[in-house]
Amino acid sequence: MTVIEASATPPRRLAWQLAEVREIAVETPRVKSLLLHVPAWQGHLPGQHVDIRLTAEDGYQAQHSYSIASPPEDELLALTVELVDDGEVSPYLIDNVRAGDQFELRGPIGGYFVWTIATEGPLCLIAGGSGIAPLAAMLRHRARRKDRTPALLVYSSRTLEDIIYREELETMAQRDSNLRLVNTLTRKQPEGWTGYRRRIDKAMLAEVAFPPEQDPKIFICGPTPLVEDASRFLVELGHPFPTIKTERFGPTGGLAS
């Protein structure tokens, strides 16, 4: 019998590193993307996130997790930040941060909510609001590598102006017949809008999503009620539990008793 020495090498700590803001992109009235230069970055997989840590002059620190929106192929690390009014980190990142500023970051974190072009089966992405960020990393990775895995993005936004990365996603879909983009606008639709105009529901997913027989890999990211609903509908439509990966954020919308 072979005895394997446990913990022969202690795990390496995920160290805090310095990130410098190189560019800031205004995505919507409440959302910005920060493009960061992280000299010691070791690479990441599409879907992973980072923790960032801000330090005040009095030594107070606050941390927050953000999904990485950029693909591994890009040089700068992109974080897409939505303003949360009663938040602590996002108001600072949205209102105060300028190009050249530095803060601490560590990652990449999370090995479950990840997709690469090596993954088998069609890619089914469902996003609400800023939940698009980790899914954008997957689509950007797929596009950079000129991969043609059949892919679908169902994206729920309140209004046309709230669609994050709108032009980029449209261009991506125009150039790639294997990528289908389905937008739904839940609050206000522009004149002549031909897309959906309601929250993501079971009928919509039955209509647009890959059927279970095609064994799609499903990633859902958005506000908790949207993720709860969409994942439940997909289970009811016959998709096996392990094929549905989720990330929830924000208020629970009455789920807490």
Partner 1 sequence: MDSTPISRGFTSRRQELTSKNRTPPGQYVTADFPVLSAGPTPQTKVEDWTLALQLGGSLLRKWSWAEFEALPQTTIKTDIHCVTKWSKLDTTWRGVTFDDLLKAVGLAAPPAPYVMAHCDGGYSTNLPLADLVDGKGMIVTRYEDLPIPPAHGGPARLLVPHLYFWKSGKWVRRLRFMEEDEHGFWESLGYHNYGNPWKEQRYDGD
H-state helical runs in 111-176: 132-144, 166-174
Q: Is 130 in the site for partner 1 (CB under 8 A)?
A: no
Q: Please identify, using beta-carbon distances, which residue of 113 and 165 lies nearer to partner 1.
A: 113
Residues 6+ apart with CB under 8 A from 9: none
C-alpha triplet 116, 118, 121: angle, nearest 5°: 95
Q: Is 9 in the site for partner 1 (CB under 8 A)?
A: no
- In the sheet with 123-128, reading across from the earlier edge strand, the strands are 179-185, 151-157, 123-128, 217-223, 244-249
**Minimum distance of partner 1 from residue 185's CB (angstroms):** 25
How many angstroms separate the CA atoms of 242 and 224, rounded? 19
Backbone angles phi, psi at 230, to 5 degrees: -60, -40
How many angstroms separate the CA atoms of 66 and 81, rounded? 8
Q: Is 249 in the site for partner 1 (CB under 8 A)?
A: yes
Q: Is 238 in the site for partner 1 (CB under 8 A)?
A: no
Q: Which residues of 196-210 are buried (b: 16+ CB within 10 A; e: fewer)?
A: beeebeeebbeebbb
Task: Using CB under 8 A, pick the residue from 96, 187, 194, 213 that binds partner 1.
Answer: 96
- Could you tell me which stretch among 134-142, 145-153, 165-173, 236-244 binds partner 1 (CB under 8 A)? 236-244
Q: Is 24 in the site for partner 1 (CB under 8 A)?
A: no
Q: Please identify, using beta-carbon distances, which residue of 74 and 101 lies nearer to partner 1.
A: 101
Task: Using CB under 8 A, pick the residue from 23, 25, 29, 62 that binds partner 1.
Answer: 62
- Could you tell me which stretch among 95-103, 172-180, 181-189, 196-204 binds partner 1 (CB under 8 A)? 95-103
- Could you tell me which stretch among 126-134, 141-149, 170-178, 234-242 binds partner 1 (CB under 8 A)? 234-242
Structure tokens at 104: 């601490």
Q: Please identify, using beta-carbon distances, which residue of 102 and 214 lies nearer to partner 1.
A: 102
How many angstroms separate the CA atoms of 127 and 227, rounded? 8
Binding site for partner 1 (CB under 8 A): 10-18, 51, 53-58, 60-65, 86-88, 91-92, 96, 101-104, 109-113, 224, 228, 231-232, 234-235, 241-242, 244-246, 248-252, 255-257
